[in-house]
Amino acid sequence: MTTAVRDSDTVTRDALAVLQPTFDGTTTLPGWLPRQLENGMTGVGLFGRNVVSSEQLAQLTGRLREAKPDVLVAIDEEGGDVTRLEVHGGSSFPGNHALGSVDDPELTRAVAAALGRRLAECGITLNWAPSADINTDPDNPVIGVRSFGDDPALVARHTVAYVEGLQSVGIAACVKHFPGHGNTNVDSHHAMPRIDIDLATLHERELVPFKAAIAAGTRCVMSAHILLPALDGERPGTLSPAVLTGLLRAPAAEGGLGYEGLIFTDAIEMRAVAETYGLDHGCVLAVAAGADALCIGGTPSDEAEVLRLRDALVAAVHSGELPEERLHDAAERVRALARWTSEARGAEPAPEPDGDIGLVAARRGLRLTTPDGAPAHRPPGTPPYVASFPPVANIAVGTQTPWGVGRELDRLLPGTAGGSHTREDAERAGTEGLAAEVLRAAGDRPLVAVVRDVHRHPWMAATLDALLAARPGTVVVEMGVPHAPPSGALHIATYGAARVCGRAAAEVIAGVRGD
């Protein structure tokens, strides 16, 4: 029997171990971070605000490792639309939807391994990816092209390939968002999504990729802040014992998935949790429900917040709301993952593939359609005008990362012009008026219209229709989910807005390869 003081110290260190905060800083660490790593904290999360370049990031993670050699350094690097490594320029790797459109698991495995090598070079040890969500609802505002597709078997085989690719180069994969965020039209960053399906449907559809990933040995699974009344009508998955312990952890004989690895929460400060339960109590409920590591990612943490959350967990242990054994088990799982990543960093790396695998994949992911009755596309002899129609970006994607085809077309056809035309412009001028403004800006130039999830945005669809009525020779590039019928003289579906997807589309428009 240990003394009360030692017990208290153990509980405090365990509470710090399950917290995975983020921080502000690119070249220097805030003073509190090394101090709390020494006190028991196991790791941190990085976002675009921490990244200037690969070299800078490697130096930053090196300083973290000086404070704690086996520190877990996590990042939300899905490739495609969600990139932190290349937040300022766009990703060198297409995202899940493009890979799913090709449906070559070996290509997906190679892309994930190449991305993993880049993470490892920067000192990252854990990637909060891939998304294993099935894009069941085409109006989904938060998943979309982050999903491999809408077929459970396809999503499962590519989730497995992605996990294997990442982990083959020593990067722990974190499959998300359990038990599946694809069948909702609500973004849990802003509100509580509700999924009204029965358990049979859940097992036959949403859980198929997670079962496959678990069988493939994924090191982590991330929970979703979604309400699933078939299991728990009160608490979202992240805070629900029925979802995390009863479904994810329970053995197959009891109707569960038998998962034994680490359970991460999605960012715990998202409104679906924080506005209903409060950040402090949300952390307590998540660990009590079965979560092991608490992602605190939306805004940079400071020492006061970390200590406040630590104290909330410790107080919950003392009050009996959070069993000490549950907290200790969670902390031990986090420490075990840290040991695995530390050992993996010293392993011999797998050989790199020949060529630019990201661009190869983006080119293979394109779908080209010439709609019936449309004029034949001919590569423009003069630089075109590129009209981009951006939707409001969701928080996971962010607003910092550039997208489109204009930059890449200008590289191939110097003098390419363009402009961004928004929903606010459509509300001001009307969709017919906005189309007229675009046509005036284009003048005699060939016109390229770039849309993103046009099926979800009536203003965008109406403006595009008006443009095509006036200019049937317009090339249309869809950089989101290509759910709407193809239109334009040539319709190019890129299945995502990564930089390499824009480059692949630009090559087709210009009739020139950019090698």
Active site residues: 189, 266
* Cα R_g (the chain), whole angstroms: 24
Q: Which two tokens stand for residue 183?
A: 């069948």
Q: What is the dihedral of CA 22, 26, 29, 33, to 10 degrees?
A: 10
Closest CA to 457 of 138, 80, 181: 138
Q: How far apart are CA 365 and CA 357, in angstroms?
A: 12
Helices and strands in the chain: count of H runs, count of E runs: 18, 14
Q: How far apart are CA 64 and CA 78, in angstroms?
A: 23
Q: Which two tokens stand for residue 79?
A: 């490739």
Q: Which two tokens stand for residue 389?
A: 């129609």
DSSP, res 455: G
Asked whether the beta carbons of 328 and 14 are under 8 A apart, the reply is yes
Quote the crossing angle between the two packed helices 105-121 and 54-67, to the nearest 10°.
70
Q: How far apart are CA 46 and CA 28, in angstroms?
A: 13
Q: How far apart are CA 509 and CA 515, in angstroms?
A: 15
Q: What Cα–Cα distance (Å) separates residue 489 from each residue in 39, 236, 440?
A: 62, 46, 20
Q: How far apart are CA 93 and CA 112, in angstroms?
A: 9
Q: Which two tokens stand for residue 102?
A: 């090709």
Centre a 10 Å sphere on the Cβ of residue 62 and count the other Cβ atoms it contains: 11
Q: How far apart are CA 431 and CA 416, in angstroms?
A: 24
Asked whether the beta carbons of 181 and 193 are under 8 A apart, the reply is yes
Closest CA to 435 of 393, 477, 478, 389: 389
Cis peptide before 130 (omega within 30 of 0): yes
Q: How far apart are CA 12 and CA 41, in angstroms?
A: 10
